[in-house]
Structure 1
């Protein structure tokens, strides 16, 4: 009889220890998701700043004398659209950010990258690379958090609380001129 009590107490302690460890791990994963989201948003904001610089350069004209006079109106309209989309993307609510960023990426892909200054080409490529990396880190954190939170024992014991699981962030990755066709 005493043996069964000891076995029961040990089993209960093991379950409590596992639950405590899992709840702490889930909490750390949620913190990781929050930090990755902040990093993603800051890289997206940086890209918006670079896109505004691209648009300003389009309005001012390319460094080599750039655009023909007949292109001026079309280029100015495209540049204003880029600025508007960059502003919209930066100010978008978290639930609308994906759509705003996709619209910005599509508009940017429609511009002629050959007419940009070399410094802006490098800056934009760096910003887009950082966005891709930050998005992948964020989505990895979301995947790990969701995988742990969706395990049956974790759900049964409500170790994740009542919060909804984090959502993935899916945007268009860098579009090169060959891919845009």
Structure 2
């Protein structure tokens, strides 16, 4: 009788362990998907900001030196590879801050674009931090519940915040 109860308890514990592993692996999968979605959203906002800056620089409302500075920074940000992307986006933010981009019809649009980049970056980094915290738990590493997914990384760039 005691052997059957012991086997029953071991079976229940294994079942609970399996359910917990399955739930945690599903949660990790959802977090990784959210990281990818947030990354894509950030990339979209950075591209929109770069396009807006290029349009502003070509509009003729700024002096030629400011226009060239903004066009160059926007072009570098748009064409940068993944290793240089953060540095070139930060340079674009600095160029926006240095030039007189407070021209009336453009100031509100550019301010909105800058805020959207800030929010997208913060949202991305918050999700990355949550994912990394879950992946660092002993239980997750012991049972390799993250699979072969790469560890996500935060994006550190000057975004005017």
Q: Same fold (TM over 0.5)?
A: yes
1:49 corresponds in structure 2 to 51
TM-score, normalisation: structure 1: 0.82
Matched, 1:137 2:108: no
The alpha carbon displacement at 1:48 in A equals 0.3
Give the deviation of 1:37 after TM superposition.
0.5
Match of 1:86 among 70, 74, 79: 74
Structure 1 position 163, deviation (Å): 2.7
Name the CA distance, whole Å, in 1 between partners of 2:101 and 2:37. Answer: 33
* Residue 3 of structure 1: aligned partner: 5
Distance in 2 (alpha carbons) for counterparts of 1:168 and 1:95: 13
2:107 alignment partner in structure 1: 121
Match of 1:37 among 32, 36, 39: 39
Q: Give 1:171 shift.
A: 1.4
Cα drift, residue 80 of structure 1: 1.8
Deviation at 1:76, TM superposition (A): 2.0
Task: Count matched residues.
Answer: 159
Q: Aligned to 1:36, what secondary structure does the other structure show?
A: helix
| 3-state SS of 1:47 partner | helix
2:87 to 82, 94, 99: 99
Q: Calculate the TM-score normalised by the size of structure 2.
A: 0.92
* Aligned residues of 2:42 and 2:121 also touching (Cα < 8 A): yes
| Structure 1: runs of 5 or more not aligned | 63-74, 176-181
**SS of match in other structure, 2:148:** coil
Listed as ranges, the gaps of 5+ residues in structure 2 are none
Q: CA deviation at 1:113?
A: 3.2
Q: Say whether 1:160 aligns with 2:135.
A: no
- Measured after TM superposition, the shift of residue 119 of structure 1 is 1.7
Q: Could you tell me how far apart the structure 2 residues matched to 1:101 and 1:129 are?
A: 14
| Superposition RMSD in Å | 1.5
Distance 1:94 1:124 in 2: 24
For 2:150, what is the secondary structure of its paired residue?
Answer: coil
Asked if the contact 2:45–2:120 (Cα under 8 Å) also holds between the matched residues in 1, the reply is yes
Task: Provide the C-alpha distance between the structure 1 equivalents of 2:39 and 2:61, rounded to a whole number of angstroms.
Answer: 36
Paired residue for 1:21?
A: 23
Shift of 1:77: 3.3
